[in-house]
């Protein structure tokens, strides 16, 4: 049983690391590093929870080809992401830009943590001021 | 009383976000092309590989660009409606045959009818990328001056046409069906 579970686990692991593109890449190592980083930042709109690096969709391979060609012709990373955003919108980027309509997205988690801490501090403060009631007192005594 | 206001308020905010999330369609990505000039292209024509179809075809009249392919199930679904539309709307439909096999595409048009004034062959998908295409079928409505007015993703149906396209066409054209010079 354990062995079977382990085998299953191993399978899911391999499924997770296997990417789509194996045949492609740029011969220049520096350019290839940029290419590999870029395609991991671009969403495949056909299968929206994959990057174009992970996706086997036809469109993803077209976009990878487009990006390779742009890199080879000397485009900067910014030019490439501008190119993609102009055609597909901000959603194509896995790292959305900081702009008025994404403030909630970027600031949300921090705001939640701050709200949580404030609530926590208030609760702790009121609790520490209240005297222990009888039952709790005896329970504590018992534990010691 | 006051101590309940904060959690209830937070819950209400959460509820608004969840309700919005439930009603959004994640498959629909709004096109940044709306209101912008139609991306230029110049591609071989499907029916006559020596002829070209270019973005200048949109000039001077309201037109539709429909992205289709024979491998696309939704395209088969909407095809009948496109044929009907071509005969009744007064708006010329141009096709962008996306990453398709030429022979199969020609057969498809012969068998199912050809709603397109002309279809441009985008064999390697470069023009589709310029148009921000991510899933066929997609249908663009283009103004006389070449501005993209609207984009619909998924098969076109009579209901969607009536609801989303007709109001824009009526506004731009003054009437529907659209009476345009030189188009029957």
Q: What rounded mean pLDDT belongs to chain A?
A: 83
Q: Are B147 and B37 in contact (CB under 8 A)?
A: yes
Q: What is the mean pLDDT of residues B119-124?
A: 95
Inter-chain CB proximity A87 and B32 less than 8 Å: yes
Is B71 part of any domain? yes
Strands B138-142 and B63-68: antiparallel
The answer to whether A86 faces chain B, any CB pair under 8 Å, is yes
Report B:78-97 residues touching A (Cβ under 8 A): none
Inter-chain CB proximity B26 and A45 less than 8 Å: no
Is B96 part of any domain? yes
Q: How does residue A41 score in pLDDT terms, banded at 50, 70 and 90?
A: very high
Q: Are B52 and B122 in contact (CB under 8 A)?
A: no
Mean pLDDT lowest among A32-36, A84-88, A104-108, B24-28: B24-28
Work out the number of other CB atoms within 10 angstroms of the CB of residue A100.
Answer: 6
User: Domain span at residue B102?
Assistant: 33-173
Q: What rounded mean pLDDT belongs to chain B?
A: 91
Is B147 part of any domain? yes
Inter-chain CB proximity B33 and A87 less than 8 Å: yes
Q: Which residue of A has its CA nearest to B30?
A: A89
The answer to whether B57 faces chain A, any CB pair under 8 Å, is no
Per-residue pLDDT tens over the stretch B15-51: 998 998 888 887 777 889 999 999 999 999 999 989 9
Query: Among residues B124, B122, B125, B60, which one has the least CA distance to residue B95?
Result: B122
For residue B184, the model assigns a pLDDT of 44
Domain count, chain B: 1
Q: Is the ipTM of this complex over 0.90?
A: no
Q: What is the mean pLDDT of residues A37-43?
A: 92
Is B182 part of any domain? no
- What are B155's two structure tokens? 């098969």
Is B7 part of any domain? no
pLDDT at A12 over 50: yes
Domains of chain A: 1-97 (1.10.8.640), 98-144 (no CATH)
pLDDT at A17 over 70: no
The answer to whether B48 faces chain A, any CB pair under 8 Å, is no
Q: What is the mean pLDDT of residues B134-143?
A: 93
For residue B39, the model assigns a pLDDT of 96
Q: What is the mean pLDDT of residues B74-94?
A: 94
The SS3 of residue A107 is helix
Inter-chain CB proximity B132 and A89 less than 8 Å: yes
Per-residue pLDDT tens over the stretch B154-174: 999 999 999 999 999 989 887
DSSP letter, residue B112: H
Is B121 part of any domain? yes
Work out the number of other CB atoms within 10 angstroms of the CB of residue A39.
Answer: 23
Q: What is the mean pLDDT of residues A44-54?
A: 87
Is B180 part of any domain? no
DSSP letter, residue B139: E
Q: Which residues of A touch B126 (CB under 8 A)?
A: 62, 66
Measure in Å the smallest separation between the Cα of A38 and chain B Cα atoms.
Answer: 17
CATH code for the domain in which residue B69 is found: 3.40.30.10
Q: How does residue B52 score in pLDDT terms, banded at 50, 70 and 90?
A: very high
The answer to whether B31 faces chain A, any CB pair under 8 Å, is yes
pLDDT at A134 over 80: no
Q: What is the mean pLDDT of residues A30-54?
A: 90
pLDDT at A116 over 70: yes
CB pairs under 8 A between A and B: 43
What is this structure's pTM? 0.78
Query: What angle is formed at CA B104 by the lines to CA B159 and CA B101, rounded to 5 degrees?
Result: 100
Q: Which residue of A has its CA nearest to B100?
A: A58
For residue A136, the model assigns a pLDDT of 64
Is B50 part of any domain? yes
For residue A25, the model assigns a pLDDT of 83
């Amino acid at each position: 049983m354990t062995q079977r579970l382990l085998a299953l686990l191993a399978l899911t692991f391999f499924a997770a690391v296997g990417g789509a593109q194996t045949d492609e890449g740029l011969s220049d190592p520096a350019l290839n590093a940029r290419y590999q980083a870029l395609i991991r930042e671009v969403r495949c709109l056909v299968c929206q929870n994959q990057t174009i690096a992970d996706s086997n969709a036809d469109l993803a391979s077209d976009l990878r080809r487009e990006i390779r060609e742009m890199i080879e012709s000397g485009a900067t990373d910014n030019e490439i992401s501008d190119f993609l955003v102009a055609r597909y919108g901000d959603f194509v980027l896995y790292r959305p830009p900081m702009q008025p309509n994404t403030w909630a997205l970027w600031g949300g988690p921090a705001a939640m943590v701050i709200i949580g801490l404030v609530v926590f501090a208030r609760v702790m403060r009121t609790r520490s001021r209240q005297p222990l009631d009888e039952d709790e007192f005896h329970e504590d005594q018992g534990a010691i | 009383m006051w101590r309940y206001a904060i959690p209830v308020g937070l819950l209400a905010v959460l509820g608004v976000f969840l309700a919005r999330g439930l009603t959004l369609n994640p498959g629909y990505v709004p096109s940044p092309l709306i209101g912008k000039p139609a991306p230029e292209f110049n591609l071989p024509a499907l029916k006559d590989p020596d002829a070209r179809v270019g973005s200048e075809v949109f000039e001077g009249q309201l037109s539709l660009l429909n992205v289709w392919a024979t491998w696309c199930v939704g395209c088969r679904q909407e095809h009948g409606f496109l044929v009907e539309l071509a005969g009744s709307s007064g708006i010329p439909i141009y096709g962008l045959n996306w990453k398709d096999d030429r022979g199969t595409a020609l057969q498809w048009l012969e068998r199912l009818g050809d709603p397109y004034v002309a279809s441009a062959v985008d064999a390697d998908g470069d023009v589709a990328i310029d148009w921000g295409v991510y899933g066929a079928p997609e249908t663009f409505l283009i103004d006389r001056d070449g501005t993209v007015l609207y984009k619909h993703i998924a098969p076109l149906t009579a209901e969607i046409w009536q609801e989303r396209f007709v109001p824009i066409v009526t506004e731009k054209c003054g009437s529907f069906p659209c009476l345009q010079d030189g188009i029957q």
